[in-house]
Structures are given as C-alpha cells and as structure tokens.
Structure 1
Amino acid sequence: MPGTASLLSLNAAIDAMAPEFTALSDRIWDFAELKFDEDRSSDLLIQTLLQHGFSVRQDVAGMKTAFIGEFGSGKPVIAFLGEYDALAGMSQVAGVDAPQAVEAGGTGHGCGHNLLGSGSLLAAVSLARYLQANGLSGTVRYYGCPGEEGGSGKTFMVRAGAFADVDAALTWHPAPFNGVRSTNNLAVIETFYRFKGVAAHAANSAHLGRSALDAVELMNVGVNFLREHMPQDCRVHYAITDAGGRAANVVQAQAEVLYLIRAPEMAQALALGERVEKVARGAAMMTETEVEAVFDTASTNLLPNLTLENAIHDNLVALGPIPFDENDIDFARRIQATFSEEAIKSSIRLYQIKEDVFSNRKIDGSTPLHLGLRAFEGQSHFRAGSTDVGDVSRVTPTAQCWAPAWAIGTNPHTWQVVAQGRSPGAHKAMIHAAKALAATGLDLLTSSELLAQAKIEWSEKMDGEPYMCPIPESVQPAANG
C-alpha cells in the first residue's frame, strides 16, 4: 500500500487542481443537459482530459456524448466512472433555500451529476499525474458515461465491450453523508406500452370508438392488483406519457404508458415484466384496442465488492473529516429547515447512518451536515434504487463511496439537490471524494494482492454465471427528444 508521503503528494495535487475542477462542475451545473444530449458537458470534460495529457476515444457504443479518456499503459487498468446528465423539470436557482426556478419547466442537476463527473475526473487526472511523476506503470481511464437518468448509458457501453479489459472500476455519488455503504440495488426494466384504438365523437358515436386511454387506465388498475402477488422487494412504477390528447369529447385513438419494473435480480425483473405484459394485453382485449410493448432500457442489479469498499473506507479514515466551515453548516441548516422531521429521520434510516468513526456518536440529524464518517459494517444492505453502475459491476470489480454534498434529509431528484449543487460545501465534498477515489486507485495500481482479492471476491459472487446484457442488440440509446 502507498505510504503517507504518497498520499500527501496525491492530495496536494488534488488541492492544487481543485479550483479548476470546481469551476468545471459549476459550468456543467449551468448546462444541465438531459440524457444523451449532454453535448456541451461532454465536450468540456473531453477538453479537460486532453489538456491533462489523456488520449480520448469518442462516440463510444454509438453514443455521441460517451467517451473514454486514457493515460499510461499496461496493466492494471483502473477505471473512474463519470456522469453528467441532468433531469427534466428540475430548474432551480443555486444557493437559496426556497424553490425558485431559473426557467419555468427547465432542466436541473437534481442528482448532483455535475459534481459526480467532475470529481471522478479530478481523481483520474491526479492519479495519472502521480503515475507520470513516479514512473509507475499501469493505465488510468476516465469513462464519460451519458444518460444515467433513464438511459442506462453504462449498460450500452458494457454491451459494446468498453470495460472488457478493465481490472477495477471506482466511482462516487453525492449524498447526505460521508462514507461507504455497500448496497444491493435493484435491476430495472423500462417498457412503453402503446395502445391504438379508434377515434369517435364521444357523444354522438361513442359506440363506434375504441378508447386507447381506457386501455391504459385498465392496465394500470390490473397492475395495481398484481402488486399483492409479486415478491416483496420488487417495485413497479408507471407514468402516462400520452393520454391521447386534451379533447374530452373525442374517444382517444392512441395512448401510452411507461412502466419501470424493479427486482433484486434481473431474472425476477424479466419474469415480473412478463406478467405486466399479460395485464397490458388483457386491457387491450377488454377495450378491443391493440397494444405494442416497446422496450426502452434496462440496468442490472449491483454486485457489491467488499474488498474494494473496505479499501475506500480505509482511505476515508486516513483523510479525516471534510473541512466544512460555519457558512457551509449555516446553508445546510437553512436547506434542512425545508424538510419535515420524518424526512430527516428517513434520510438517516435510508443511508444507515448509525455511528460516526471519528466521534463514536450516533448521528441524529441535529447537525445539518454530516461532519464525520459513516462506520462501515463490511456487509451489504438492500437499497430500492437502480443504477447502470450495476452492469459495470457484472464485468469487473466495482465500488463506490458517498460524500455529503447535501444537507441531511435531502432526497435525490428534488429542488434542494439543485440548490446545493454549486455550494462551497458541495465542492468540498466533491474534492474529498476525489481524494478517496484517487488513493484507492493508487492502492490498486501498487498492490497486486488487493487487486487479486477484489477479483477473487467478484469471481466467487458471479459464481461462473456469464453477464447477460439486459438490453437487446437491436435497441439503441434514445435521447429525450
């Protein structure tokens, strides 16, 4: 493992580059581009890679905003995963403690991917510089991964073989806490159900019409009855994406609903998806309409790697607390005041924030920012969300940490996330995460034993099962437009 002098050198390089990368994060926050349309964000990240001596391969897996930056040569190959897509309807002014859109109906970084992508890049660049300065062999890669929000960009990259020679992958995510939490995320499948009926005058000749909207509503009722008869840890969500128009006096000739089906294992998600499709076809039969199931995207459940997670945790312990100041705490307190007491307690429960490594005290939310480090139990927990990081974890050992860019109580995909996305406290969390990832990457580059242990654990958990990409070859990435 690297010594104290090595880590001090690595951290000093990160601190020196911090202004450049916080500015990078803020510019991506400004762009707030949606999945697969992150043109300015990806270009900015690519230019930064080139300026720091990386070679860059673009248009990876047929996605115009997917790219891979590479520095060094030979084994091992250590990957850092970056994201930079935003969310629709999340426009919000930064640095305020009330909902206030920059642009009505506009986009916003409601999951902190501006911080995620820039922080991972900072880790990759600092580690590359360290390798060059110390004459070490190995390859550092930065994966520019578009469309995490409903696009499964990494899944397409995995399908294209972009991670085939990677020895280990590291990433992080903004959160209300600092530390490592090993999670078993859910596999997810997204499918559109498009119903086609017959239009008619709703008063004079309704008997001649066949309502596609009726079919959508009946499908939703049927799936709601199905919930009692599916495995407990599964989730089913839907949104009506086309109600057939705004005229109430017309029998709707078309309608569409999007379903997200989540399950602990992909095989369970596929099986549940078949049952949902039967409900859709039943709704079509009842209304004498036609239905087409159109696959959108999917992601596999995450495969935790405790070996890598322990390594990240050890580096977080060595780093010590994040240097938040009173201004950071004050802003977090104002944000936290917008949450209910239950939301704050729920946040602590969700992230399993029980004890602090540095103070050995229980975290109760009385301090609005997580000032310490979450104790790592060395075991995995259930988490109901989904991520395309899961597909990467199925082809190479993968781990991630979390950093407290948000006040305790903050939920992803909310205006509060966007409001905190450019704050000095969020920048400090991002820099802290970059240090932890870079140090862990250096561990992997210099300790063949650590890497071997991570690979053995990965192999044992895969148990000889080949990775089966959940996205058919015929399906291509679909942008928001």
Structure 2
Amino acid sequence: MPARKEVWDIVQHKSKVFADLSDKVWALPEINYEEFQSSAAHVEALTAEGFRINRDVADLPTAIMGEAGEGGPVIAILGEYDALPGLSQEAGIAEQRAVENGGHGHGCGHNLLGAGALLAAAAVKDYLQRKGLAGRIRYYGCPAEEGGSSKGFMVRAGVFDDVDIAISWHPAAFAGVNNPVSLACNEILFHFSGRASHAASSPHLGRSALDAVELMNVGVNYLREHMPPTARIHYAITDAGGVAPNVVQARATVRYLVRARSLPELNELVDRVKDVAKGAALMTGTTARNEIISGDANLVGNTLLETLMHENAMELGPPQFDDADRDTASKFQETFSAEEIKASYSRFGLKVRKGVALCDLIFPPESGDGLSVGSTDVGTVSWVVPTVQMRGATYAIGTPGHSWQLVAQGKLPAAHKGMTHAAKIMASTAIDLFADPALIVDARADHKERLEGTPFVNPIPDDVMPSLPAVRLS
C-alpha cells in the first residue's frame, strides 16, 4: 500500500537520529524510577520533533508523554528505557567484560524499545501533518517496567482513559506479532518479626524471624505441586536478620514474585501464598506482615489489531541484515548453549535451523509454546485499551534474556536495523488505523467482548505507592 511505503520511508529517514538516542540511553543504564537522564534524553528528542510534552506523568518523575496532531482518534505508542542491575557490559564484544563492576546494563533492550517506539511516533506525526489527517499520536515514556510496574500506576491515574489504541514492541531474536500471552503477577514483601535472644544461653527465649522465612519457603515449595502448571513463584531473601549466628534473628524479609495466567487465577494464588506465610508465623511464634510493591495484569489480545499488524509485517518483510551482521551474531552464538538456541526457536513456535544466526523471517501469529512467557506491565494497559505488541529482531538467535550477551549487542548495527524495522511496522499499523477509523471501532468492540463478565481489577491496590528513589539523581 502506498501509505505504508511512505511512512516506512519517513522512519528510514529518521532512523539515524533515533539509533543515536538508543545508544545514548544504552550508555546511561538507569534502573527502576531512576531513569532521569534517559527520560531527559527522550524529552529532548520529543522537543526536537515538535511534540507537546507532559512530564511527571501520573506523579512518576521519570514518566513522560509527548503528543502531536489535533482532533480525531488517539493512538498511543508505548516506550520504555529502564535497565537492569548488575549487568554492566562492554558493547560489541562476545566476551563478558563489565564497564563497571556491579554496574547496571540494558539486558532487556529497553534502550532500543524506547527509541524505536519514539521513532515510530515521530514518523506517524510527520505523516499526519503531510496528509492533513485528524488524529493524535502519543508517545508514552514508561519507566520501571522491570519490576516497578509503572504502567499499572499510570493506568490507575487514568492517563490512558482517552486513548483509543495502544501499540508497543519488544526487542527479541525474531520479528513478528507478539502472541498476546503473559503472566499476571504481584511482587510482595513478607516481613517477619520475632524476638532476639542469645542463641546458645537462652535460645528458648527467642523467636526466629529467619526460621519463619525458611519455613515459608518450604511451604511454598510444597505448594508448587498443587498450583496450575502455568503459574510461577520465585523468591529472594532480602533481609536475613543479620550476620551473627549466635543471635536469634528478630527480623527477616523475603520478596516473592507470584505469577499466574490470569488476574483471577493470580488473586487466588496470592491468597494461598499469604496463608503459607501465616502458617510459618504461627509455627515460629512470630508475626507476619505482607506488602505488595508492584503488579502486572496478563495481556488481553485483540484479533483485529494482531491481524492488521501481521499484514503490515508481511508486506514489509523481515529485517535486512547483511553478512557483517550475521558474522558478528555467529560469534555471540558461540557463547550460547544448544539448549538456549533451541529455547529461542521454541518460544516462537519455530524449528531449529542450524547455522542461522539472525532472524530472516516473520514468525506466524499465535506462535510459540505458550509456556515460555514472563510478565509485562503492558498487560495492565491492555485491560483498559485495545493493545497490540510486536517483537523486533535485534539480537542473535539464542541470546538469553537479561544477560551480558544481550547488553553487549545493544549498540550493534543489527540492533539498530531491528529497531528501525519494528518502528516501520508500528508506524504503518497506526497509519492504517488513522486512515480507517472503522477499524478502531471494530478493535474496541473486540476488546469489550473479551472482557465482558470479567471486570478489571488493577493488580496494584489503591494504597500501594511506587518505590520512588528518596532523592532525585542528577
């Protein structure tokens, strides 16, 4: 279609500027709600493109929104820019080597995610202006996806209430429309309080909070046999009560991440985990207090939007990598296990192809094993706005998520090409919707029908506040 080709050309023309933005954010890895420099870089790019800008969206100091256009429907393109702790890594080398010991790194590719989403939004803005089309395109810069659930807080604040359609993407090994399956989740701190005593001379006077944590973990591990097979539970002891073994620990905290296939299933499983905590407290003579710190809903699909985005992807074709890109990716593949490469194919419902280092196809809709899924706060948005998401091929097949190898590939030419490819598909999907508002009506009808009889309950309770840093970082 001519309109698609025109917006793809706009994306390509702007791609260098946004590849530079991605690289800038890669070099400034900032974790949950500390993305002040990364957010500022996106504001600078929005300003240069002429967007109207809102800062501190939903009272989150690193959340931003840029809007362009007038009247008509509102289409949002969602971006992220948070990094992960402990994944510092030099760029471009297939060898683990930290830039800063203990430093952060973009191990999920959110430097690409935010820049690519903004690239798509900027191209749509230009197209709407050229054609004089009514409509508003919005870029939402969303912090703290990695466990901070910013989009859940943004949904709670109502910042998506007037949005008609939401579009997003995520870096991956393959390109295509995301299978709309993710796990709803809650992240919960369980605080146990006991009584300190001398562990040798008066152990009978003590009540060990650490014992309670350990018994809770044992209880939850027994619970695993009796929960749905698609559910997941993970934990980490964040406060063991001290380092002296001759003191009965009066305090201890364990952090749980509980995941399930749907919000109702999640709520039931969280209640069972809370009961295990109560039992552990009862057995140890301690008290237990739980504190929800974040939560994501599961993704809600939308057949019309997924079909439309897949049509755009097929017309564009796969990303165009060259021999140099493939040679570099092959060097990274040498650091992966055979199981990691097999899992990468399986996740997208594809058969393993030996000797293929980079994506050269568009994977089919509704592909994948349905098991290799995590959680995303995009899921919460999808309960209140019809949402579609794609995967963009930006790294070597087999690259483990949240790994030094993923960080190392974040500035390669292949990463930039994959980001630009995803931006083209997102931009032309948005243009199709602006050009034919009846598609938006149908997508919203699909969304309403899916949620009929299942009222949305935000997995973040109203009294839970985001874990913002105490001081704004410079």
Confirm or deny a common fold (TM above 0.5): yes
| Deviant stretches of 4+, over 4 Å | 377-383
Q: 2 CA distance for matches of 1:44 and 1:150?
A: 22
Say if 2:53 and 2:67, in contact at 8 Å, map to a contact too: yes
Q: 2 CA distance for matches of 1:157 and 1:365?
A: 43
Q: 1 CA distance for matches of 2:71 and 2:130?
A: 17
One-letter code aligned to 2:13: A
Q: 1 CA distance for matches of 2:126 and 2:369?
A: 34
- What secondary structure does 2:255 align onto? strand
What is the CA distance between 1:376 and its match in structure 2? Answer: 2.7
What is the CA distance between 1:208 and its match in structure 2? Answer: 2.1
Quickly say closer, same or farther: Cα 1:148–1:222, change in 2 above 3 A.
Answer: same
Deviation per CA, 1:184-205: give whole Å up to 9, x if none.
Answer: 2111011100111222222232
Q: Could you tell me which residue of structure 2 aligns to residue 326 of structure 1?
A: 323
One-letter code aligned to 1:346: A
Q: Could you tell me which residue of structure 2 aligns to residue 92 of structure 1?
A: 89
One-letter code aligned to 1:390: G
Matching of residues 226-375 of structure 1 within 5 Å: 226-354=223-351, 363-375=352-364
Q: Could you tell me which residue of structure 2 aligns to residue 461 of structure 1?
A: 450
Q: Which one of 432, 435, 440 corresponds to residue 443 of structure 1?
A: 432
Q: Report which stretch shifted further, 269-278 or 242-251.
A: 242-251
One-letter code aligned to 1:193: F
Q: Which one of 66, 72, 77 corresponds to residue 69 of structure 2?
A: 72
- What secondary structure does 1:195 align onto? strand
Q: 2 CA distance for matches of 1:123 and 1:312?
A: 14
Q: Which one of 157, 162, 177 corresponds to residue 160 of structure 1?
A: 157
One-letter code aligned to 1:112: G
Deviation per CA, 1:375-425: give whole Å up to 9, x if none.
Answer: 335899455311111111111110111111111111211111101111110
Say if 1:182 and 1:306, in contact at 8 Å, map to a contact too: no
Paired residues in the alignment total 470
One-letter code aligned to 1:249: N
Q: 1 CA distance for matches of 2:62 and 2:56?
A: 6
Say if 1:333 and 1:407, in contact at 8 Å, map to a contact too: yes
Q: Which segments of 5 or more consecutive residues in structure 2 lack a partner in the other structure?
A: none
Q: Could you tell me which residue of structure 1 aligns to residue 5 of structure 2?
A: 8
- What secondary structure does 1:439 align onto? helix
Quickly say closer, same or farther: Cα 1:305–1:383, change in 2 above 3 A.
Answer: farther
Indicate the RMSD between aligned Cα atoms, in angstroms. Answer: 1.6
Q: Could you tell me which residue of structure 2 aligns to residue 406 of structure 1?
A: 395
Quickly say closer, same or farther: Cα 1:244–1:43, change in 2 above 3 A.
Answer: same
Say if 1:184 and 1:383, in contact at 8 Å, map to a contact too: no
What is the CA distance between 1:98 and its match in structure 2? Answer: 1.6
What is the CA distance between 1:453 and its match in structure 2? Answer: 2.2
- What secondary structure does 1:31 align onto? coil
- Pair 1:137-2:148 in alignment: no
Q: Which one of 420, 442, 461 corresponds to residue 472 of structure 1?
A: 461
Q: 1 CA distance for matches of 2:253 and 2:336?
A: 34
One-letter code aligned to 2:235: Y
Q: Could you tell me which residue of structure 2 aligns to residue 194 of structure 1?
A: 191
Quickly say closer, same or farther: Cα 1:281–1:480, change in 2 above 3 A.
Answer: farther
One-letter code aligned to 1:414: S
- Pair 1:103-2:100 in alignment: yes
Say if 2:319 and 2:359, in contact at 8 Å, map to a contact too: no
Identity between Structure 1 and Structure 2 (%): 49
What is the CA distance between 1:437 and its match in structure 2? Answer: 0.3
Q: Could you tell me which residue of structure 2 aligns to residue 359 of structure 1?
A: none
Q: 1 CA distance for matches of 2:358 and 2:11?
A: 23
Q: 1 CA distance for matches of 2:367 and 2:172?
A: 19
Q: 2 CA distance for matches of 1:398 and 1:381?
A: 19
Say if 1:310 and 1:378, in contact at 8 Å, map to a contact too: no
Say if 1:182 and 1:380, in contact at 8 Å, map to a contact too: no
- What secondary structure does 1:291 align onto? strand
Say if 1:66 and 1:144, in contact at 8 Å, map to a contact too: yes
One-letter code aligned to 1:24: L
Q: 1 CA distance for matches of 2:270 and 2:454?
A: 22
Deviation per CA, 1:331-365: give whole Å up to 9, x if none.
Answer: 111111111111111111112225xxxxxxxx524
What is the CA distance between 1:137 and its match in structure 2? Answer: 0.8
- What secondary structure does 2:245 align onto? coil
One-letter code aligned to 1:332: A
Q: Which one of 101, 116, 119 corresponds to residue 116 of structure 2?
A: 119
Quickly say closer, same or farther: Cα 1:472–1:377, change in 2 above 3 A.
Answer: closer
Quickly say closer, same or farther: Cα 1:306–1:105, change in 2 above 3 A.
Answer: same
Q: Could you tell me which residue of structure 2 aligns to residue 46 of structure 1?
A: 43
Q: Which segments of 5 or more consecutive residues in structure 1 lack a partner in the other structure?
A: 355-362
Say if 1:169 and 1:398, in contact at 8 Å, map to a contact too: yes
What is the CA distance between 1:452 and its match in structure 2? Answer: 2.2
